[in-house]
Structure 1
Amino acid sequence: MIRKIGIGTGIIVSIFLLFKFCEFKKNDAEDLNYNTNLIQQQIVNVGKLVVTEGHFSEVITYKNQEKYLLDMLSFEKKALVIVNADVTVAYDLHQMKYDIDEENKVITIISIPKEEIKISPDIQFYDVEQSKLNPFTADDYNKINKSVKANLAKKIEKSSLKRNAQNRLISELSKILILSNSFGWKLQYKGEVIKSEKDFNQKIKL
C-alpha cells in the first residue's frame, strides 16, 4: 500500500515538474519573441534619412574664344560666375540590410548604404561679354554647371561635411547597439562584435 502511494506521489511530482518545465520553456519563448519584435521595431525606427547640410560659395571666370581666318580673327566671350550652393549628405537607413539570429541572440548588420551627396547650386552670371559670332549657348551653360559641380565635389571632400554626416550615422546605429546590449544580445558588423561607438567608427570608412 505504502509502495503504491509512493509511486502515485512520484507520478504526481513528475507531472507537476513537467508542467512547470513546459511553462518555463513557453515563457522563455515568449520573452525571446517579444525581445526580437522590440529590436526589429527599434531598427525600423532608426531606419530614417540621416542628413547633414552645408553651404559653399565660389567665383569662377569663364572664357571661350572662337578663331577664324587661320587664327587671325577671334571672338571672345566671357563671364564672371558666382556660385552659392546648398549641399546635403544623407544616409537612407531604410536601405540597411541586417539579419537577426534569435537562437544565438545576435544581430548582424550586413550592409550600410553609401552616403548620398546632393549639390544644389545657384549660379549667377555677371559682366557677360559676347558677340554675335560667339554667343553664349546651352552648351556653355552645361560646361559651367559641370565645372561648378566638380569643383564643389572637391571642396566637399576636403571639408568636414562627410565626417559630420558619418558621426550622425554612427549615433543612429548606436541606438541599435544600446538596445541589443540591454537585452543581452550581440551586435555584429563586418565579422566582428560591436561593443561601442568607437568600434563603429573604426569599421565605417568614408
Structure 2
Amino acid sequence: MQRRILLITGISLAVFLLFKFCEFKKDDTSTIDYNSNLIQQQIVNVGKLIVTEGHFSQVLTYKDQDKYFMDMISFEKKALIIVNADVTVAYDLRKMKYDIDEKNKIITILKIPKEEIKISPDIQFYDVEQSKLNPFTGDDYNKINKSVRANLAKKMEKSSLKRNAKNRLVSELSKILILTNTMGWTLQYEDKIIKKDSDWNTKIKM
C-alpha cells in the first residue's frame, strides 16, 4: 500500500514538473516572439524617406568667341547667368535590408541604401549679347547647364548638407540601437557590432 502511494506520488510529481517545464518553454518562446515583433515594428517605424534640403546661389559669366580670317575678325557672345538651386540629399530607409536571428538574439542590418542626391537649378540669363554669326544655341545651353551642375556639386561637397543628412540617418538608425540594447540583443551592420552611435559613422560612407 505504501509502495503504491509512493508510486502515485512520484507519477504526480513527474507530471507536475513536466507541465511546469512545458509552461516555461512556452513562456520563453512567447518572449522571443514578442521581442522579435517589437524589433520588426521599430524597423518599420524607421523605414521612411529622410530628406535634407539645401539652397545654393551663384553668378556666372559665359563667354564664347568665333574668329574668322586668321583671327582678324571675331564675333563674341556672352551672358550674365544667375543660378538658384534647390539640392536634396535623401535616404530611402524603406529599402533597408536586415536579418533577425531569434536564437542568438542578433539583428543584422544587411544594407543601408546609398544617399540619393538631386540638384534642381533655376538658370536665368541676363545681359545677353550675341550676333547673327555667333548666336546662342542648344550646345551653349547644354554646356552652361553642365557647368552649373558641376559647380553646384562642388559647393555641396564643401557645405554641411551631406553631413547633416548623415546625422539624420544615424539618428533614425539609433532608434533601433536603443531598442536592441534595452532588450539585451546585439545589433550589427555588415561585419561590425554596433554598440554606440559613433560606430555608424565609421561604417556608413558618403
2:129 equivalent in structure 1: 129
1:74 and 2:69 matched: no
2:176 equivalent in structure 1: 176
Q: How does 1:67-106 map to 2 (within 5 A)?
A: 67-106=67-106
Partners of 2:13 and 2:173 in 1: CA distance: 50
Partners of 2:160 and 2:17 in 1: CA distance: 63
User: By how many angstroms is 1:150 displaced?
Assistant: 0.3
2:16 equivalent in structure 1: 16
Deviation by residue 1:38-64 (Cα, 9 ceiling, x = unmatched)? 211110110111111111111111011
1:192 and 2:182 matched: no
Deviation by residue 1:76-124 (Cα, 9 ceiling, x = unmatched)? 1100001111111111111111111111010011121111111111111
Partners of 1:38 and 1:201 in 2: CA distance: 25
SS, match of residue 196 in structure 1 = coil
SS, match of residue 71 in structure 1 = coil
Partners of 2:165 and 2:91 in 1: CA distance: 8
Residue identity opposite 1:61 in structure 2:
T
Partners of 2:202 and 2:70 in 1: CA distance: 61
Q: How does 1:150-165 map to 2 (within 5 A)?
A: 150-165=150-165
Partners of 2:63 and 2:9 in 1: CA distance: 103
Partners of 2:103 and 2:143 in 1: CA distance: 58
Q: How does 1:51-70 map to 2 (within 5 A)?
A: 51-70=51-70
Work out the percentage of aligned pairs sharing the same amino acid: 76
1:109 equivalent in structure 2: 109
SS, match of residue 205 in structure 1 = coil
Partners of 1:28 and 1:113 in 2: CA distance: 35
Partners of 1:137 and 1:29 in 2: CA distance: 71
Residue identity opposite 1:122 in structure 2:
D
Partners of 2:65 and 2:27 in 1: CA distance: 81
User: By how many angstroms is 1:67 displaced?
Assistant: 2.0
Partners of 2:172 and 2:190 in 1: CA distance: 18
Partners of 2:119 and 2:35 in 1: CA distance: 41
Partners of 1:115 and 1:42 in 2: CA distance: 21
Residue identity opposite 1:21 in structure 2:
F
Residue identity opposite 1:178 in structure 2:
I
2:30 equivalent in structure 1: 30
Structure 1 segments unaligned to the other structure (5+ residues): none
**TM-score of the pair, normalised by structure 2:** 0.96
Deviation by residue 1:173-195 (Cα, 9 ceiling, x = unmatched)? 00000111122111001312111
Partners of 1:67 and 1:148 in 2: CA distance: 26
Structure 2 segments unaligned to the other structure (5+ residues): none
Residue identity opposite 1:16 in structure 2:
F
Partners of 1:97 and 1:70 in 2: CA distance: 64
Q: Cα RMSD between the aligned structures?
A: 1.1
User: By how many angstroms is 1:202 displaced?
Assistant: 2.4
* Runs of 4+ with >4 A deviation: none
Residue identity opposite 2:107 in structure 1:
I
Partners of 2:92 and 2:152 in 1: CA distance: 22
Partners of 1:47 and 1:143 in 2: CA distance: 39
Partners of 1:141 and 1:179 in 2: CA distance: 52
**TM-score of the pair, normalised by structure 1:** 0.96
